Structure formats: C-alpha cells, structure tokens
Amino acid sequence: MEVGKFDPTHNVNFAKPRNFGEKLKTDLTETFFPDDPFKGFSDETPKKRLLKGIKYFIPIFDWLPSYNFSLFRYDFLAGITIASLAIPQGISYANLAKIPPVIGLYSSFVPPFIYAVFGSSKNLAVGTVAACSLLIANTIGETVSPTDNPTLYLNLVFTATFICGIIETALGVLRLGILVDFLSHSTITGFMGGTAVIIILQQLKGFLGLKHFTTKTDVLSVVKTLLSHKDEWHWQSAVVGFIFLAFLQFTRYVKNKRPKLFWISAMAPLVVVITGGLFAYLAHAEKFGIQIVGHLNRGINPSSVNRLNFDPKYIAAPIKAGILTAVLALAEGIAIGRSFAIMKNQQTDGNKEMIAFGIMNIVGSFTSCYLTTGPFSKTAVNFNAGCRTQMSNVVMAIIMMLTLLFLAPLFSYTPMVALSAIIMSAMFGLIEYDKAIHLFKVDKFDFCICMLAFFGVTFISMDIGLGLSIGLGIIRALLYTARPRTCKLGNIPNTNLYRDIEQYPDAQWTAEILILQLGSPILYSNSTYVRERILRWVRDEESNKDNQGDSVEHLILELGGVTTIDMTGIEALYELKRLVEAKDIKLSLVNPRIEVMEKLITSKFIDVIGKESVFLSIDDAVESCRFRLDGPNKCNGQELA
C-alpha cells in the first residue's frame, strides 16, 4: 500500500444487483425447497429425471428395489411387536373418540399401507393418538351427541378426517411446513401434558364404571360430574382397574430400568386386554358393574365414501376439528419422526411427511378410518424393536387384517376398565414435568408458554389452550423482531477479534471509534427502534467524553447478522447518517450481506455514504478510522488500546 493511501475495500463486492427474477427464484427456493430436491436435474437425461422425480415424491421406489431378506427379518419382528400394541391402542383410542371400537382397528389396517408407500421416515409407526382422538370428540361432540345420534356423529368424524387429510396434503404440496414450526417445543410440551391430565380424568368413567359422564373436558367439569354421580361408582371396577394399571406401570418401570426388555412394556397392553377379556367372560363381570366393549364386527374396512357429510348445518364442526387435528398431528408426527431419525443419522423430509399423512387420512376417511398420525409410543417400540424400513408398517397392517378377519369378535369381552387403564398408563408418560422444570431453569418465557398451554387445556378447553399458547409464542417472536438487540464491540487483546464488551469485559475500545453490532433484519417494525438505539449508544458515549477525554468521531455498524432490510429500514439509515454527521461523526458499514447490499446499492445509499465507507471486516474499518484519526505516519495497523 502506498504511503498516504488506505484502501481496504478492494475485496468488498459492489457488483450490480441481481434482477427481480433471480432474487425471487432464490427466495422461493430457500423458503419452499430448502432441501433443494431438484439439484442436478438439468444435467440428467429425461428418463433419469423422471425416475429421480418418482423416487423423490414416492419414497417406496427409492428403498424397495434394494430391499432384501436381511432387512425383512428386522422389520418382521418390529411389525409383530407394534401390532401387539396397535390392537389395544386402537380399541382404547376409538373409545376415547366416542366411536365404535372396531373403527380403531380399521385405522391400523389401511393407513399403514399408505404410509409405507409415501412416508419418508424409516422409523415411524402410524396409528391413532390420544390427543387427536379427544380433540375430535370434544369438537364434534359440541355439535352432535355421540350417544343421541351416533350415526351422524361417526359420519362427521369421517368428514373431519377427510378435511384433515386435505389440509395436510395441501400443506405438503405447497411446501408450507414452516407453518407447523409455530408449534414450539414448549407449546407441545404444555399441550400434551394438559391433554394427558384431562384424558386421565376422562378415563375415570371407565375406571369407576360410570354410565353418565360430562362431555366437557376441563378439569372442573369432570370433577363436578364425579362428585355428583357418587351413587354410580363401582368399587369392583376400580379394584380391577388399579390391578391392571399397576401391572402396566410395573412393565414401564422394567423397560426404563432395562431398555433391552422394552418388549415387555410393548406386549403389556395386549396382555391386559386378553386377561381382562377372559376375566370378564368367566366372571360375568357385567353383573358387578364392569362394562365391556361389546360386539365387534368381523371383516375388513367397509367403504365410507358415501358417509362423508358436508351439510352446511354441521360442516363447521368437522372443519374446525380437521384444522386443529391437522396442525397437531403434523407437529407431533413430524417431530417424532425427526427425533428418531437423528438417532440413526438419517433425515426426514417434513413436506413429504405432510403429503404422506394427508393421503393416509384421505384414503382412511374413504375406508372407515379416523385420524391417524405417528404416535410416540408405537414409534418408540418400532425403533427399539430394530425396524429398518417402512416395511414394519406393512407387517403390522397385515396382522391387523388377519385380526379383523378372524379374531375381532374375541375382543368383544374386553372390559372398559382395562382400556381405561391402558390409556391412563400411556398418558402418565406424557406429563413431562422434568421438561417443564428444565424450561423454567433455561427460559422463563418458554416456561410461561408451556404453562399457558397446560392450564388453558386443563381448565378451559383444548383448542383455546393451544391457541393461547401459540398466540403468546407469536407475540414473543414479534417482540424479538420489534426490539432487536444491539451490542457494543471491543477488541480482544492480542487478536483481531471484536466481541460484545458486556460478554467480554476485557475487550478494549477507544472513545473515538464506536463499533456496534446489529443482529436482526431491519424492517418497518423495528427501524425506528434500531435508529434510536444506535443514537442512544452515541449519546451514552458522548456523556462519557469528559472522563475519556475524547468524543466519538467514527460510528461502525457491523451488519453481518442483518439478513434483510426494507425501504423503511433504508430510510432509517439515511436519517441516522444525517443525524450522526450533524455531530461530526463518520458512518461506516461492515460486511453487509448480499440482499442488504443490493438494496443499499439500488436505493443509492452506497453512493451517498461512499464505497470507501463499506468494509469487509471490522479490522479493516478500524484501520481506516485510525488512519483518518492519526494520519498515515502514525497508523500502523495495531489493535486498539
């Protein structure tokens, strides 16, 4: 570098901004196709492009050609294991949804076949889930009574399943998986915990052998109903229920202590159903107030296409149930699939999963099934049983088919109290108080979101509790956007690194040069705050000039964390420049990202501020400032003192 000249900007890219089409393509690709599924398509022959597209959209064509007997051995054992869990769960959760128990068995026959074709997770085991079952019963039950008009109620359940499938498929096709991300981990934790509590309380009907029970799900209504129907309590049913529940909890304890014995816990619900059925048949349990499931039809799923009901008088309930269950089922199913995929260093495509769930529920609504997704308990069993591919779902479906064809009537003597014990045992695992404690220790706001979901579900209703929690989460995100953090940077001694002086108290700076780091997009919602916060930093520095002996002469803004900027943000920078120049302060920018740089060039802000005021690194910017402050004879490129 020549003496008397300083030009650190030779590496800064001031290239002509991309045209609108290029930027739009980049933005849409990043938003809707972050996995870049079509990378390299243009280099392939038409036939290979077609095959690659088929494998991408229909995953079975990707893994089935290389499938072999060695993989099938693992999938066969896993399929048998999850089928043993699917039978009691299917009956139990159908009872929770207030629909005929055989519908729960139907829902574990057709949907697994569909998922095996379109699903991308090798570990997920599909089936019915408790939260969605109760949500359907609660939402549709407000419009039609499942006891007074069971046929219409069931038709609306099929309609809600169809609507749920349409929504899930549309979200997947339109690549709108980002919408599911609004269900935060804290929201799901609180919602599932609250749902578990009310499900446990709901099961007291079967536990105590009650014939009359409230259709409401909040805690106060359930407790009030229990106290007002003391005359219907049957101690015999309660004793049997406690025995079954103690057995189920013991097997869970064994599984937790000895993970390799997971199959004991997986088989326990089926053991309870078989034992309970034999007990009810031999002891004539109905005489003692112990209710049984009743007759189960033999045969595979009948068609239900003509049972879908779109009558304007009732359609509001299925639409509401479809929307709520679609969001919840996707969030739960995708999160569970990804969690187990990570354990095997595998990837799960959220958009593919949405399409798979959607097609699964659409076809299910045509074949007498109600909503299915990826339940945690069944997926955990599938994973621990050593599944290798989606074929384990096919094995489970075949076993369910054989059960429906030959064994369904045998489950007609299953005591309702046994199903209640199975559901209660499963729900105890969803009350994750340890996670709530962890949230409280790590992030109090996350804890509040979790608790709002929990108490909203338990004391108001499931949909309101979920909505309040999501709303608070969105408000939190908006607050972070509207009030982004800025920090003052100083130089770490003996390095060229600049870090937050609050985090690194030993960092050094000079009074003449103020370095600020912005870590958020500058948009209309926060541009005024960002400008005023920067000016406050300047005022704070000026208030200390008597102690420092010098005033601020250079303001450096590090923009590496600013991902985008809008016109309001650019106007804020213009105004900031005018205000600081009125104080004889020179404004410089460091490392603006491509989208920010393009807008600053197009808006002529770079011309106004000058290219010599834009730098690739803070070190370059400080060198330039020192050069201007000290002159060419004194500037030696050393770190700040």
> What order of strands is seen across the sheet that includes strand 513-518?
498-500, 486-491, 513-518, 554-558, 586-590, 614-615
Exposed / middle / buried, residue 441 (Cβ in 10 Å: 0-12, 13-18, 19+): exposed
C-beta of residue 185 within 8 angstroms of C-beta of residue 331: no
Residues 158 and 227 in one domain: yes
CA–CA separation, 554 and 621 (whole Å): 10
3-state secondary structure at position 269: helix
Of 449, 478, 507, which marks where a domain is finished? 478
C-beta of residue 575 within 8 angstroms of C-beta of residue 534: no
Instruction: Name the token pair of 24.
Output: 């739009």
C-beta of residue 357 within 8 angstroms of C-beta of residue 329: yes
Asked if the structure places residue 374 within a domain, the reply is: yes
Asked if the structure places residue 261 within a domain, the reply is: yes
Residues 327 and 284 in one domain: yes
Where helices occur in 460-593 by DSSP H, the ranges are 462-482, 527-543, 545-548, 567-581
Residues 420 and 447 in one domain: yes
Residues 188 and 311 in one domain: yes
What pLDDT sits at residue 550?
66
Asked if the structure places residue 264 within a domain, the reply is: yes
Neighbouring-strand partners of residue 532: none
Residues 405 and 260 in one domain: yes
Instruction: Name the token pair of 217.
Output: 């799900």
CA–CA separation, 608 and 75 (whole Å): 67
Of 438, 453, 478, which marks where a domain is finished? 478
Residues 434 and 533 in one domain: no
Asked if the structure places residue 25 within a domain, the reply is: no
Range of the domain at 277: 67-478
CA–CA separation, 298 and 405 (whole Å): 5
What pLDDT sits at residue 639?
41
What pLDDT sits at residue 311?
92
Asked if the structure places residue 173 within a domain, the reply is: yes
- For 380: left if phi > 0, alpha if psi spans -120 to 50, otherwise beta; the answer is alpha
Of 429, 456, 478, which marks where a domain is finished? 478
Residues 60 and 113 in one domain: no
Residues 54 and 152 in one domain: no
Residues 241 and 131 in one domain: yes
Q: Which residues of the chain have pLDDT under 70?
A: 1-10, 20, 22-44, 177-181, 212, 214-215, 545-550, 629-641
Asked if the structure places residue 639 within a domain, the reply is: no
What's the distance, CA 600 to chain centroid?
Answer: 36
Residues 181 and 60 in one domain: no
Residues 440 and 509 in one domain: no
Asked if the structure places residue 31 within a domain, the reply is: no
End-to-end alpha-carbon separation of the chain, Å?
A: 24
Residues 90 and 55 in one domain: no
At 489, which helix (H) or strand (E)? strand 486-491
What pLDDT sits at residue 402?
93
Annotate 591-632 with DSSP letters as a single string. ---HHHHHHHHHTTHHHHH-GGGEESSHHHHHHHHHHHHH-T
Check which CATH number belongs to the domain holding 620 and give it.
3.30.750.24
C-beta of residue 85 within 8 angstroms of C-beta of residue 327: no
Question: Amino acid identity, residue 589?
Answer: L
What pLDDT sits at residue 575?
94
Asked if the structure places residue 33 within a domain, the reply is: no
Count of the separate structural domains present in the chain: 3
If one counts every other C-beta atom within 10 angstroms of the C-beta of residue 538, the result is: 19
